[in-house]
């Protein structure tokens, strides 16, 4: 029972980290694609 609770709480910092990395790379890719389109 406690293990499930602990895992649930631990999921938060892990998910925040993963999501930040995903968003960072998604925006970076969007920026570089946008740059390429506007240059061409």
Q: Which one, 1 or 37, has the nearer CB to other proteins?
A: 1
Interaction between residue 16 and other proteins (CB under 8 A): yes
Helices (H), 1-40: 2-39
Q: Which one, 16 or 35, has the nearer CB to other proteins?
A: 16
Say which residue the tokens 């240059």 belong to. 39
Question: Measured between alpha carbons, how far is 38 from 36 in angstroms, rounded to an integer?
Answer: 6
For the record, the structure tokens of 6 come out as: 């602990």
Q: Which one, 15 or 34, has the nearer CB to other proteins?
A: 15
Interaction between residue 10 and other proteins (CB under 8 A): no
């Amino acid at each position: 029972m406690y293990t499930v609770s602990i895992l649930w709480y631990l999921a938060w910092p892990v998910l925040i980290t993963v999501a930040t990395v995903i968003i960072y790379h998604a925006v970076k890719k969007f920026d570089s694609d946008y740059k390429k389109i506007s240059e061409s």
